[in-house]
Amino acid sequence: MLTARGVGLCRRCNACVWRMPALRLGRRGRIGDEMDNYYERAKAIRTKHLKYFPQGCKILDVGCAEGTLMKYMAERGYSVFGVDNDQRQIQAAADANMPVSNEDAISFLRRHTKTYDGIVCSHVIEHIPVDHTEAFVESCYDIPLAGGAVTISKAVHPSRNRVNSS
């Protein structure tokens, strides 16, 4: 539930949520420049993840949601599998013909050690309860085969880069 200031907690994972600011004119003088910047950042993040994995390797996408990153990787020749505990998101990924499992990430990771060449955790760690974060990261590092990689990225909201004066 959101407060009058637009800040609240996600009912499912207790992550902080807030209302997005209204779109305003960007540097090029048009509405939507902020979204252009968002999609450019998202593209850059996808590209950064992939630079750690050789073409065609087997990658696990932890917290795959609707499978957007999985689809991007599959289109570039990677063998992908996703895991997420949100049934609606997993159904959307399955409807897009992405191979997925609907279960808790830590449980899945503990059962599949040394199974994948690499793991991608994009915008997931902020949804892991604080008291499970260490177990989550340790479980991620037990998964890759020898020479494999684990990439973890976290969403950062620009407003968190400055001190709140109120």
Asked if residue 30 lies in contact with residue 54, where contact means CB atoms within 8 angstroms, the answer is no
Cα 142 from Cα 150, distance rounded (Å): 10
Phi then psi for residue 126, to 5 deg, are: -70, -10
CATH number of 53-156: 3.40.50.150
Domain regions of the chain by residue span: 53-156
Model confidence pLDDT, tens digit, residues 102-147: 999 999 999 998 999 999 998 888 888 889 989 999 998 888 888 8
Model confidence pLDDT, tens digit, residues 16-69: 444 444 444 555 555 555 555 655 666 677 777 788 888 899 999 999 999 989
Residue 66 confidence (pLDDT) = 92
Please count the other Cβ atoms lying within 10 Å of the Cβ belonging to residue 54: 13
Asked if residue 117 lies in contact with residue 148, where contact means CB atoms within 8 angstroms, the answer is yes
pTM: 0.71
